[in-house]
């Protein structure tokens, strides 16, 4: 029937796939809740199940290869971090600046050393030391999306510990960037006499601080004026598109400065305060947070299911790889858990520690970067090592929300 | 700086593009409102302006080539039609079944004859008669998204005329499918002795009716049971993902039956009634319509801006093409306008007529289909004819919301 093909909408397959994602996300979340786990852990596992189906069942769609799902998942984590930012204000975050800095530094240094030591012990003798160094680097970046979702589920996103976790994750992103530039530079320097790329590292740090600094000063100064102008428009339904446009612009600018897009989206949420948008909120009789909420409900599950679906199930079944991954994951969990001590006395350090545990796309980007670096004409990370590190990242990603959900339920806030 | 490239998020460019789309959509909408035109007309023109910029300004991003924008635009028109469906119920639509059928049939037959006659008069002698026939076919399909948005803007989506327009558009989609299969079959039959593809046409019609029939019977029967089951879940935030999953599944099933995805999404909205979802709505303390609304606000403008951006500005400047397009558009507008008479006495026939005027993606799909069909070894539609037809479709697309907005403001509802 060639005529039917002429009018068939190529987007139809995507629609079926998204419906499937929502259904498995809600089913997985429900099962997780009944097991007293956070819903997001169930969504991650639902994605892993889809990945297994895509490999076992002929004709089953492969979510990990859908460009549209990738777009919607990216949108999901951006609006999620924007929503988390909206729940806090700049002064609130400034008040947790020092504990966040301590947590971030411990949470980068300790897992890096632990990962380096673990890889040095576990990998066969003769492995170049930069490989151990790179594996340590892969363990140092927290993926905040998952913890943010758990904190929101439990209503703890604006608690002291919740703010420390998010603040530490932002600093963590800057430090992770430095580590990647530094370690990649060390690998490149192996073949030459240039040493560590101090200039490049300094420039990276400068750009990141420049972005964060101008967002928090210039952005905060400009926003009331812009929304005051928008309030003179006669159009309806301005609040949400303008709020999102601001978040997306900052996410883009942040990425130009080398930061993850979610850092910019979070900064946008932080800057936008009720006082800036209250005229538009009054006119539309709705709060910006309530308007963003359905977007988070719709697209954040796509992000978590896709994250699970991107895991290659085959990489998790080889016993050697699995053992390597499990030991590395254990070191990674412990390394981040002790970072919770940086939050200081009187606070739920275990909540902060568990909140820093999940690794995700940042670690995966490190692995991808490592697979393109060459040492003595061979790839820095062999396929087995890559599978092991990815497995370790996945284990922390599932363990993180489980641990965080457990300690949040167990302990009441002390602030 | 190769290290910065390693961590740069490929999604960042999309974020900047989407922010741009929202800003120009709101600015275009505001200008249109001040000129007493519907906002959607301004959004279409804003898209056209982006297309001009993409061609004139070096390095300016081309929205029409962004896969992510395409995904979000498709999502936008799907949730828009779902939201329009939610505003009506099945009995309400049944009560306008006969007027809708009359409007749809007149609105397919008259523009088809007018377009055929116009092309026969305007195109050079010696043009195969199937070309004229195909041009007529291109004018017969209404694109309901634009009128739906204008009706929503003016709060007239569930008025008698609003329901007739949407009902006629659904029937129109079935008829348009038949016309495409019939005319394409006639072209193919030119070279053989098979005649019109009656079997294929019958099968197409049967599939479309089977889908609509089972959605309105089986779907309506199953939905209360499914939502009753969902209500036993302990998870929160079920209403929106499940509602969307249902809409997307029906859109996909409809496309398997050969219908546009928006018909399925509309049917899903029609079937879902407050009675089915009220337990979940009570639990989440929000109505499904209110939850879908922010999605429409966010993504429908992307659809309209992208629709404008897909127009090739070059095709609109050749005087001959422009004249051909303008005359064809005039015939197309008149042909759809008279279809309003099918609504019957006592109703605002001009509202219905103008509501049927906009053509859009369906007409463009026809043109694309025509450009792949061959007659005597040459493409059925030459590049000039294609540009002219596309120009005509665009003119109806901009004229439609202008006319509809004007008659809606001028006349109070008579029902």
Express each pLDDT in B345-383 by its tens digit: 777 888 888 888 887 666 776 776 677 677 767 777 777
| Interface contact B200-A292, CB threshold 8 A | no
Chain A residues near residue B233 by CB distance under 8 angstroms: 26, 30
Nearest to A26 among B15, B242, B298 (CB): B242
Residue B415 maps to a domain: no
**What are the CB-based long-range contacts (under 8 Å, 24+) for B202-209?**
B203/A1, B204/A3, B204/A4, B204/B177, B204/B178, B204/B258, B205/B174, B205/B177, B205/B178, B207/B257, B207/B258, B208/B174, B208/B177, B208/B257, B208/B258, B208/B259, B209/B174
- A-B contacts at Cβ under 8 angstroms: 207
The predicted pLDDT at position A20 comes to 94
Count of the separate structural domains present in chain B: 1
Q: Running DSSP on this structure, what letter comes out for residue B218?
A: I
Residue A166 maps to a domain: yes
Query: What is the DSSP pairing of strand B378-379 with strand B374-375?
Result: antiparallel
Residue A149 maps to a domain: yes
The predicted pLDDT at position A412 comes to 62
- A22 CB-near residues (< 8 Å, 6+ apart): A301, A302, B241, B242, B244, B245, B248
Q: How many angstroms separate the CA atoms of A396 and A332, rounded?
A: 7
Q: Which of B90, B122, B37, B178 is nearest to B328 (CA)?
A: B122
Residue A206 maps to a domain: yes
The predicted pLDDT at position A2 comes to 35
Burial class (CB in 10 A: 0-12, 13-18, 19+), B191: exposed
Give the residue numbers spanning the domain of A328.
9-60+68-410
DSSP string, B226-246: HHHHHTT---SS-HHHHHHHH
Express each pLDDT in A182-241 by its tens digit: 777 677 666 555 566 677 767 777 777 788 888 888 888 888 888 888 888 888 888 899
Express each pLDDT in A250-262 by its tens digit: 999 988 887 778 7
The predicted pLDDT at position A195 comes to 61
Q: Running DSSP on this structure, what letter comes out for residue B115?
A: H
The predicted pLDDT at position A361 comes to 65
The region of weakest confidence among A18-22, B150-154, B217-221, B409-413 is B409-413
pLDDT band at A72 (very low <50, low <70, confident <90, very high): very high
The predicted pLDDT at position A3 comes to 37
Nearest to A3 among B1, B181, B246 (CB): B181
Express each pLDDT in A73-131 by its tens digit: 989 988 988 987 887 777 777 777 888 888 888 888 898 898 888 888 888 877 778 88
Mean pLDDT computed over B160-172: 84
Give the helix/strand (H/E) hosting B280: helix B274-284
Q: How many angstroms separate the CA atoms of B251 and B399, rounded?
A: 28
CA distances from A353 to A154, A170, A266 (A): 17, 15, 21
Residue A2 maps to a domain: no
Nearest to A235 among B30, B185, B261 (CB): B30
Q: What ipTM score was computed for the predicted complex, to two decimals?
A: 0.81
Residue A415 maps to a domain: no
Nearest chain B residue (CA) to A365: B7
Three-state secondary structure call for residue B375: strand
Residue B3 maps to a domain: no
Express each pLDDT in A269-284 by its tens digit: 888 887 778 888 888 8
Express each pLDDT in B272-296 by its tens digit: 887 778 888 888 888 888 899 999 9
Q: How many angstroms separate the CA atoms of A251 and A256, rounded?
A: 9
Q: Running DSSP on this structure, what letter comes out for residue B134?
A: H
CA angle A349, A350, A353 (to 5 degrees): 85
Q: Which of A2, A5, A9 to mutate to test the interface with B (most CBs of B within 10 A)?
A: A9
Q: How many angstroms separate the CA atoms of A332 and A395, rounded?
A: 10
Region for B36 from its dihedrals, namely left if φ exceeds 0, alpha if ψ lies in -120 to 50, beta otherwise: left
Residue A324 maps to a domain: yes
Give B288 or B41, the one with higher predicted confidence: B288
Measured between CA atoms, how close is B148 to chain A, in angstroms?
A: 16
For the question of whether the overall pTM of this predicted structure is more than 0.80, the answer is: yes
The predicted pLDDT at position A132 comes to 85
Among A43-57, B18-32, B52-66, the range of highest mean pLDDT: B18-32
Express each pLDDT in A316-340 by its tens digit: 777 878 888 888 889 888 888 888 8
Nearest to B369 among A6, A75, A230 (CB): A6
Max CA separation in chain A (angstroms): 71
The region of weakest confidence among A157-161, A230-234, B312-316 is B312-316
| Interface contact A258-B8, CB threshold 8 A | yes
Task: List the CATH number of the domain containing B286.
Answer: 1.20.1530.20
Three-state secondary structure call for residue B189: helix
CA A143, chain centre distance (Å): 3
pLDDT band at B149 (very low <50, low <70, confident <90, very high): confident
Percent of chain A with pLDDT over 70: 90
């Amino acid at each position: 029937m060639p005529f039917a093909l002429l009018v068939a909408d190529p987007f139809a397959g995507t629609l079926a796939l998204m419906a499937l994602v929502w259904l498995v996300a809600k089913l997985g979340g429900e099962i997780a809740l009944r097991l007293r786990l956070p819903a997001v852990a169930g969504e991650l596992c639902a994605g892993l199940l889809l990945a297994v189906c895509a490999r076992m069942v002929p004709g089953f769609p492969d979510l990990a290869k859908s460009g549209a799902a990738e777009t919607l998942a990216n949108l999901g984590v951006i609006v999620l971090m924007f929503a988390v930012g909206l729940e806090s204000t700049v002064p609130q975050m400034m008040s947790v600046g020092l504990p966040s800095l301590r947590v971030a530094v411990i949470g980068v240094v300790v897992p890096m050393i632990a990962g380096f030591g673990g890889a040095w012990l576990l990998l066969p003798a003769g492995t170049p030391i930069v490989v151990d160094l790179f594996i340590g680097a892969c363990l140092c970046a927290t993926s905040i999306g998952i913890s943010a979702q758990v904190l929101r589920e439990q209503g703890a996103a604006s608690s002291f510990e919740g703010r420390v976790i998010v603040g530490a994750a932002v600093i963590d992103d800057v430090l992770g960037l430095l580590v990647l530039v530094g370690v990649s530079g060390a690998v490149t320097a192996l073949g030459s006499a240039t040493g560590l790329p101090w200039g490049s590292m300094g420039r990276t740090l400068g750009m990141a601080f420049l972005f964060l600094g101008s967002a928090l000063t210039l952005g905060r100064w400009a926003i009331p004026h812009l929304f005051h102008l928008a309030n003179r428009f006669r159009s309806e339904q301005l609040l949400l598109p303008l709020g999102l446009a601001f978040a997306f612009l900052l996410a883009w600018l942040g990425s130009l400065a080398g930061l993850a897009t979610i850092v910019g989206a979070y900064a946008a949420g932080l800057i936008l305060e009720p006082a800036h948008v209250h005229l538009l909120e009054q006119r539309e009789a709705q709060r910006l947070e309530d308007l963003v909420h359905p977007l988070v409900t719709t697209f954040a599950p796509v992000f978590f299911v896709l994250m699970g679906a991107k895991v290659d199930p085959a990489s998790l079944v080889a016993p050697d790889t699995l053992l390597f991954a499990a030991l590395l994951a254990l070191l990674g969990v412990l390394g981040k858990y002790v970072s919770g001590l940086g939050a200081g006395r009187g606070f739920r350090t275990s909540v902060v520690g568990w909140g820093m545990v999940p690794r995700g796309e940042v670690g995966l980007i490190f692995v991808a970067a490592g697979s393109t670096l060459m040492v003595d004409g061979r790839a820095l990370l062999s396929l087995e090592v890559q599978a092991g590190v990815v497995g370790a990242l996945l284990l922390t990603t599932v363990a993180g929300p489980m641990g965080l959900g457990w300690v949040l339920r167990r302990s009441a806030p002390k602030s």
